[in-house]
Amino acid sequence: MKRFSILFVILCASTCALAQKADVAFTVGGSFVSDSQQTFSTGPSSITKLKTDNHIFLEGTLGVRMLNAKVAALYVELPVAGLPSQKITFTTSPSTVLDHISTVFITPSLKLKLLPVAPISPWVSFGGGWARYSLDSGTTSSKAAVQYGGGLDFKSGLPVLGFRAEVRDFVTGDPNFGLGSVVSGTAGGLKHHNVLAGGGIVLRF
């Protein structure tokens, strides 16, 4: 019984130590999306540029600490961000709405946090993964995505609760806008920027 009690205490302590290495952040803010530079063939006419409207974003990020060097800590993190129904318009006629597009980004990353035990901890993040673009009309496209960004984590008076301010850029190829063939420009290449800036809460376990 005594051995069992000692083993139970060790197990609980180990579990607590492991749990304290993880955090979950929930952030919200505004998006800034670059215009498409493609020229599309649409029968006798063509469309040169398309603008994606700025919109709110929602993001959840799981972080697991892999290395703690006191002055800095290395995390593996999984940001999952979503942009709901953004308007797509012609750059020459912003009042003409072509369609609405929704986007989801999933980009496993590495995060380096400086001064992790300080009241304010700056961090940078870099990684890559996948983006899914979906038009209301039914057209979808999947693109490779690169994510990079940074921010500040703020401690609160509660051990499990903190706050975060961040800016991330999810860079992909241009999505499929469902307009036919591309006359000039390319739908490939990492040149479609989705800059997300906002803040929220961090729960530490």
Residue 3 is assigned to a structural domain of this protein: no
Give residue 2's pLDDT. Answer: 47
Q: Give the containing element (helix H, strand E) for 5.
A: helix 2-19
Look at residue 17 and tell me if it is in a domain: no
Q: Is residue 8 part of a domain?
A: no
Query: Residue 6: inside a domain, yes or no?
Result: no
Tell me the CB-side half-sphere exposure of residue 108, using CA atoms within 13 A.
2
Predicted local confidence at residue 152, as pLDDT: 98
Gap between the Cα atoms of 195 and 37, Å rounded: 17
Domains held by the chain: number: 1
Per-residue pLDDT of the chain (205 residues; tens, 9 = 90+): 444 444 434 434 444 444 459 999 999 999 999 988 766 665 555 666 788 888 999 999 999 999 999 899 999 999 999 999 999 987 777 677 889 999 999 999 999 999 999 999 999 999 999 999 999 999 999 999 999 999 999 999 899 999 999 999 999 998 887 765 554 455 557 889 999 999 999 999 8
Domain that holds residue 137: 22-204
- Residue 69, domain member (yes or no): yes
CATH of the domain at 192: 2.40.160.20
Q: Is 180 helix (H, G, I), strand (E, B) or coil?
A: coil
The answer to whether residue 136 is domain-embedded is: yes
Q: For residue 140, is it within any domain? A: yes
Contact 190, 144 (CB under 8 A): yes
Around Cβ 195, how many Cβ atoms within 10 Å? 17
Residue 20 has a pLDDT of 54
CB neighbour burial string for 10-34, b if at least 16 within 10 angstroms, e if fewer: eeeeeeeeeeeeebebebebebebe
pTM of the prediction? 0.83
- Residue 155 is assigned to a structural domain of this protein: yes
Contact between 77 and 124 (Cβ < 8 Å): no
Helix, strand, coil content of the chain in percent (nearest 5): 10, 65, 25
